[in-house]
Structure formats: C-alpha cells, structure tokens
Amino acid sequence: MLNASLKELSAALAQGKISSVELTKLFLDRIQKMGALNAFITVDAEKSLAQAGAADERIAKGDAKPLTGIPVAHKDIFVAKDWLTTCGSKILSNFVGPYDAHVIERFNAAGAVLLGKTNMDEFAMGSSSENSFYGPVRNPWSRDCVPGGSSGGSAAVIAARMAPAATGTDTGGSIRQPAALSGVSGLKPTYGLVSRYGMIAFASSLDQGGPIAKSAEDLALLLNVMVGFDARDSTSIERPAEDYTLDLDKPLSGLRIGVPKEHFGEGLSGDVGKAVEAALAQFEKLGAKRVSISLPSSGLSVPAYYVIAPAEASSNLSRFDGVRYGYRASGYRDLADMYRKTRAEGFGAEVRRRILIGTYVLSHGYYDAYYLKAQKIRRLIAQDFVEAFKQCDLVIGPTSPTVAFRIGAKAADPVKMYLNDIYTTPANLAGLPAMSIPCGFGNGKLPVGLHITGNYFAEARMLNAAHQYQKATDWHARRPAGIEP
C-alpha cells in the first residue's frame, strides 16, 4: 500500500480492500517511524482520522471521487482551518488557520484526507529546507543531506512513503528542486492555474502551488483537483476544466524536445549531466526528436529572480508585525521597538536577509537600477521561451546543477545556495509550467532530476511525456535504502 499509485489506492478503497481510516492509520504509523526525517511540522491523527471516517461514509454511499479517502500531506504554507499554519516560521508559530486555502477547499471537496502539514524553508525562502524554525528536513536517500527546498518536507514525505501525495509551492523552483534532490516527481503549473488564496505569499507574481508525488500519473490526478478558477485571487485564470490524465498514454512520436545549450554549460555537475543525457536518449528512443535551442537570457534569471522575489517578499511579509496575530516579542519600549524586536526574533536569518535585499532594491534611487531592470530581464526571459517554443514542444534539461548536498554545506554562502535555482527560476519568471521527474542517480547514489518546461497550459503534454518516460524506465519507482515497503 505504501508504494501503491493513487489509481491503485483509489481502486482498493472502492473495492473495500482497505478503508480510508485504515489507509490513514498506515501512513500515520509510517510518519511516526520516519520522525527522524523531520518532514512534518504538524500531525493531528484525530483530525485526519475524522476526515478519513467521513471519506469512508462517502465511499460507502457511492459518492466517491478519484481522491476520496486518500491521505494528502500539505506544505505548511497552505492555511487550513483549525490547523496550526506556521509557514516554517517562529512568527506564525502560534497561528491557527481561521479559514481554508482554496487548494485545501478543493482537496476537502474531493474527499481527500489532510494527513499533516509538512516542514519547509521559512516562508518558502530557501533551496534546502534548512531554514525552518522547526529544524532542517533530512533527505531520505542520505540523512546527512538536504532534501532540497523549500518544499523539502513534502518531497521527503513522498520519497520516504509517508504519504501517497503531497502539495508544495514553487516560487523559484521550490517544488521541482526538492523533487529532484529527493527522487520524486513534482509539477509547477502555469502561473494562475492554481489559486493563491490561502497560500501564504512569498513573491506573489512568481508563487504557484502544485503537486508532489511518486509519478507523473499521480501528478495528473492531483492537478485535476488543484486547478480551478477562484474569484478571490485576481491572478487566477478562468478557463474550461481540463482532465490532465486524458493524454497520458499518447505516443511521443513527433514530439520535439528542445535542449537549451545554456543549461549544459559551466556549473553543471558531470554526474547530473550524464543522467540527463541518458534521459534525452531515452526520449529519442520513444520517438521524440531532439532540437538544440538557445535561451540567451537564462544566465540572468538568478540575478533577476533575487531582485524581484525579495522585493515582493519585503512587502508581503510586512503584515507580520506582532500587532494582530502571530508572535510578539516581550519587553519592548515603544511601538518601533516592538516592531524591531518582534521581527528580529520572529524571522530567521534568510528571511531577514531577503527582506533587507527587497527593501533595498525598492528604495528611492535604487528602484530603476534594480527592480525595473529585473522586470525588463523578466520580459527577455519570457521572450526567450516564445522563440524556443517556435522550434520545440518541450524544453528539457537538468533540474538542479548537482545532486543533494550535505546539510550545512552551503548555509554560509547564500550566493552558492541561490545558484541551485539557475535552471528552475526561468519558468517562474516567464510564468510557464515546469516539472521535475527522477532520471537516474549521481554522486553518492543520490537522485538526479530531469526538468521539463512546457508552453503556457501545456501541462497535459508535459505529463504525457513524463508518463511515457516513466513507463519505459523505473527511476521513479526506486526507493531509498532502508525504506521498507
């Protein structure tokens, strides 16, 4: 059951082979066993089992939908009613959600069970899940290594089979990079497809929620639940509902795969490059055609990203001021002192750093040189993809320049850490859908991720390619040593 696909679990529930309560207990036990990974911030068996009980009734009534009764772990960035929702931060360490995020509403309506809230980099700022008030998440493949971030908890949960499905959010690679480093599949949809309502904002113009799971097929089922128009999010896109499972089995003959030369240059670790090359060869075997393309501005994506994201974050995080909710420092002299102490004590070092960067780049006299220039680069990066998609259907390359690194290895060097995002940030800046799937192992027998970028709303095409690849390979089915079924 722990290794079963969502389709298999759904069938087992429908056929009465297992109840949702039993399934939920199974995973709750598993979560307890894998506690050392520190992948969850909050687990509440009572609440989860109550939901599972309700799902069982629904199944008994014949009212089940594809995900009814299936436990789902949510990144602790999604506000859930009556659940502690911390965003990995001390400043929200006492914040109990008074409402459900749109994503949570959608899963509730589908009858899924909220299995717990997963650990993450504080306010989704990080590429290692080390920046959490609740301590670092450990990579199930090697516990001395990071699982990637910021959705590292959700990725580790899938890798260690602590949940059959999870959600994450991706601002600069926060779904895809941990999926790559933890050997699982993750997808960031086209900006606007998944409502941001109730998803605690990091950088509003880049943030997008998405699923993390064991396979492309599972991602498709999860995406069917997560995608949908929401009038409460002004950037939500209204378009007819799509069934992302429909195209999974289409053959790949004629598929044009663009391989950007910029993503295979300096900085890419040899072991990762080798695995990605092998995956490209596999796609050719499946009938796809390889096209060499160029994304000339992609080298500027990290600098542009680290101006725009902190700028928006510096403003988005202003609401955490100790006045209305959340942590408030004690022993302050006056209002300014209350703000200063609350925010200095309530935010971790990386969050403070990004607030400072963001405040700086928006300041009078610097706005044009940094923020406006970064916005121009953003348009150039989007334009690169417009040109690229004239020559190909999907852009494929590595997700991350290296496999998972050791906890603490890059903590002292933020720029080194930021360069982890070099292949993932362009999709956020352009608003394009992108995913990562396992494609082999590199140094230290750690997983390598394959990055697939599609054109706007081409999720079905991406999932189709990924599914065909996963049918022909078994990288996605591999499990970390010591992780028993």
Q: Is residue 196 part of the contact set for another protein (CB under 8 A)?
A: yes
Residue 244 vs residues 167, 249, 451, 458: alpha-carbon distances, Å: 17, 11, 19, 10
The pairing of beta strand 166-170 with beta strand 185-188 = unpaired
Contact between residue 157 and residue 144 where contact means Cβ atoms under 8 Å apart = no
Q: Is residue 95 part of the contact set for another protein (CB under 8 A)?
A: yes
Looking at the Cβ atoms of 79 and 212, the one nearer to another protein is: 79
Contact between residue 464 and residue 217 where contact means Cβ atoms under 8 Å apart = no
Q: Is residue 242 part of the contact set for another protein (CB under 8 A)?
A: no
Q: Least distance in Å: CB of 239 to another protein?
A: 15
Q: Is residue 98 part of the contact set for another protein (CB under 8 A)?
A: yes
**Residue 44, CB-side half-sphere exposure with 13 Å CA sphere:** 15
3-class state of residue 444 by DSSP: helix
Interatomic CA distance for residues 403 and 445, integer angstroms: 9
Q: Which of 63, 99, 265, 477 binds another protein (CB under 8 A)?
A: 99
Tokens representing 465 are 């390619």
* Contact stretch for another protein (CB under 8 A) within 79-87, 137-145, 244-252, 289-297: 79-87
Kind plus residue range of the DSSP H or E element containing 56: helix 45-60
Q: Which residues are catalytic?
A: 75, 150, 174
Q: Which of 67, 101, 156, 179 binds another protein (CB under 8 A)?
A: 101
Tell me if the bond preceding 150 is cis, omega within 30° of 0. yes
Looking at the Cβ atoms of 137 and 201, the one nearer to another protein is: 201
Looking at the Cβ atoms of 5 and 93, the one nearer to another protein is: 93
Kind plus residue range of the DSSP H or E element containing 126: none
Q: Which of 19, 42, 48, 85 binds another protein (CB under 8 A)?
A: 85
Q: Least distance in Å: CB of 308 to another protein?
A: 9
> How many residues of this chain bind another protein (CB under 8 A)?
47
Q: Is residue 237 part of the contact set for another protein (CB under 8 A)?
A: no
The pairing of beta strand 71-75 with beta strand 113-118 = parallel
Q: Is residue 232 part of the contact set for another protein (CB under 8 A)?
A: yes
* Contact stretch for another protein (CB under 8 A) within 38-46, 162-170, 268-276, 320-328: 320-328
For another protein, the binding residues in 362-381 under the rule CB under 8 A are 362-364, 367, 371
Residue 38 vs residues 44, 132, 165, 307, 364: alpha-carbon distances, Å: 15, 10, 17, 31, 42
Q: Is residue 383 part of the contact set for another protein (CB under 8 A)?
A: no
Q: Which of 233, 247, 284, 345 binds another protein (CB under 8 A)?
A: 233
Q: Is residue 197 part of the contact set for another protein (CB under 8 A)?
A: yes
* Dihedral of alpha carbons 213, 215, 221, 226, sign: positive
Residues 6+ apart with CB under 8 A from 64: 10, 13, 14, 55, 58, 111
Q: Is residue 83 part of the contact set for another protein (CB under 8 A)?
A: no
Q: Which of 15, 61, 234, 238 binds another protein (CB under 8 A)?
A: 234
Residues 6+ apart with CB under 8 A from 49: 21, 24, 25, 28
Q: Is residue 389 part of the contact set for another protein (CB under 8 A)?
A: no
For residue 253, the 8-state DSSP code is T
Q: Which of 5, 204, 269, 294 binds another protein (CB under 8 A)?
A: 204
Q: Is residue 122 part of the contact set for another protein (CB under 8 A)?
A: no
Residue 338 vs residues 121, 319, 343, 355, 356: alpha-carbon distances, Å: 25, 14, 8, 18, 18
Q: Is residue 126 part of the contact set for another protein (CB under 8 A)?
A: no
Q: Least distance in Å: CB of 323 to another protein?
A: 5
* Contact stretch for another protein (CB under 8 A) within 16-24, 94-102, 160-168, 284-292: 94-102
For residue 190, the 8-state DSSP code is P
Using alpha carbons only, how large is the chain's radius of gyration in Å?
21
Chain positions contacting another protein, by CB under 8 A: 78-79, 85, 87, 92, 94-96, 98-99, 101, 196-201, 203-205, 231-235, 311-312, 314-315, 317-321, 323-326, 328, 335, 339, 359, 362-364, 367, 371
